[in-house]
Amino acid sequence: MQTELFEQEEDRSTVWSITGLTQAIRKSLQTQFPVVWVRGEISNLRVQASGHRYFLLKDNNCQLKTVFFRGDASGSAYLPSEGDECLAYGEISVYEPRGEYQLRIRHLLQDGLGNLRLQFDRLKKKLLEEGLFEEERKLALPIFARTIGIITSPDGAALQDFISILKRRNWKGTIWLIPSLVQGKEAPAQIINGVKIASKIPDIDLLILARGGGSIEDLWAFNDEALIRAIADCPIPTISAIGHQTDFVLSDFVADLRAETPSAAAEWISSQYLEQIERFHRLEERLLRVPQDFLSRASDKLALIEASLEKCSPQAKMERHQQQLDDLEHRLQTCVENLLERTNTKLNSIQQRLQANSLPSALKRGFSYLSDKEGNLVRSVKNLPPGKRITAHLEDGERTLEALENELG
């Protein structure tokens, strides 16, 4: 596979910038050498105030610039010293401002440990390709472990810490201790035997492999191939609780769960236990509430039925009809009262108009009228021959008058 650098080199007319060429070289190196293991002697070690470390790795003929950043160094069990033979793992890159290629170190081991690390990586790759580390083949861990088997040294602090945490968190159950060496050449065979013994214990829920921290040599028993295969074939769900948080062994990858420490395994088991206890308590409360809730719902239903029966009773029907009659009576009474009120208002208006247009009212406004002796109204002068006597009606009384000759006529 050609890199971008090589593809561009085919065009002889290309004029590179220094930055572009350097970046192309960096990409090419990162593609060709993504990660490498390098063995060499540490020289010109320089430790910055930032915590970053810079040094050369050299052999008899060549040297290689390296950088060990603080973030990577903080998780390393070994820190470089001048003159040490070491094994470095990391990526090849280019420090562009100077155009220098260098190794960014991710892990650093003294050369005495290098062979173990190589063995670890080779075996891990082999078992990984076989599918022993696949999540699909792992067993589900019990959420309520009551019987636990633990393979560990009976004299180690790991066992005491494990039991102490379970007691402190009120875990209730049975622990089967399967004693075994956890370090040395004989340890793998004893641990494998412990796995076989655990498989024969009736009703065991969970198996823990536990050991405290140590060097890579101290933990090497848990990288044994036969042991890894025995754990993979174990019918009991397993937890690998080996070393400290930064320690990794192959049993961590094949086990159904990796706990960072034996104490972390105890924390996980007790947390699951306490969660289930709390769940049982909530379930108990719900079960206790079931009769109460049932009686409450039955009482409400009974009250509803009783109300429905009362609604359908003859007395209830008569009461509803009586209420309807009362309502009709009230509405009729209201209508009559409104009609009478409107009628009275209209009559009062007519009365006022009649009074305003009555004869007394007209007389009060200065009007008068004439009548003959028979009481007939005199409407025209034609009805008043000379000498005829008539009566003049005024507001405050009457006067008899006599018609005279019309002097103008």
- 6: pLDDT strictly greater than 60: no
pLDDT value, residue 1: 36
Compute the mean pLDDT over every residue in the chain, rounded to the nearest whole number. Answer: 85
pLDDT value, residue 179: 96
pLDDT tens, residue by residue, 157-201: 999 999 999 898 888 889 999 999 999 999 999 999 999 999 999
- 116: pLDDT strictly greater than 80: no
- 115: pLDDT strictly greater than 70: no
pLDDT-based confidence at 23, cuts 50/70/90? confident
pLDDT value, residue 205: 93
Mean pLDDT of 16-26: 87
Range with the poorest average pLDDT among 16-30, 47-61, 125-139:
16-30
Range with the poorest average pLDDT among 155-164, 199-208, 361-370:
361-370
pLDDT value, residue 312: 72
pLDDT value, residue 406: 66
pLDDT value, residue 192: 96
- 3: pLDDT strictly greater than 90: no
Could you tell me the pTM of the whole model? 0.47
pLDDT tens, residue by residue, 53-101: 999 999 888 999 999 999 988 888 788 888 888 889 999 988 888 888 9
Share of the chain above pLDDT 90, in %: 36
SS (H, E, C) the chain: CCCHHHHHHCCCCCCCCHHHHHHHHHHHHHHHCCCEEEEEEEEEEEECCCCCEEEEEECCCCEEEEEECHHHHCCCCCCCCCCCEEEEEEEEEEECCCCEEEEEEEEEEEHHHHHHHHHHHHHHHHHHHHCCCCHHHCCCCCCCCCEEEEEECCCCHHHHHHHHHHHHCCCCCEEEEEECCCCCCCHHHHHHHHHHHHHHCCCCCEEEEEECCCCCCCCHHHHCHHHHHHHHHCCCCEEEEECCCCCCCHHHHHCCEECCCHHHHHHHHHHHHHHHHHHHHHHHHHHHHHHHHHHHHHHHHHHHHHHHHHHHCHHHHHHHHHHHHHHHHHHHHHHHHHHHHHHHHHHHHHHHHHHHCCHHHHHHCCCCEEECCCCCECCCHHHCCCCCEEEEEECCEEEEEECCCCCCC
pLDDT-based confidence at 8, cuts 50/70/90? very low
- 337: pLDDT strictly greater than 60: yes
- 147: pLDDT strictly greater than 80: yes
pLDDT-based confidence at 407, cuts 50/70/90? low
Mean pLDDT of 338-356: 87
pLDDT tens, residue by residue, 270-320: 887 767 676 777 777 777 777 877 788 888 888 888 777 776 777 777 877
Mean pLDDT of 329-336: 89
Q: Walk me through the domains of the chain, giving residue ranges and CATH numbers.
A: 33-127 (2.40.50.140), 145-275 (3.40.50.261), 362-402 (no CATH)
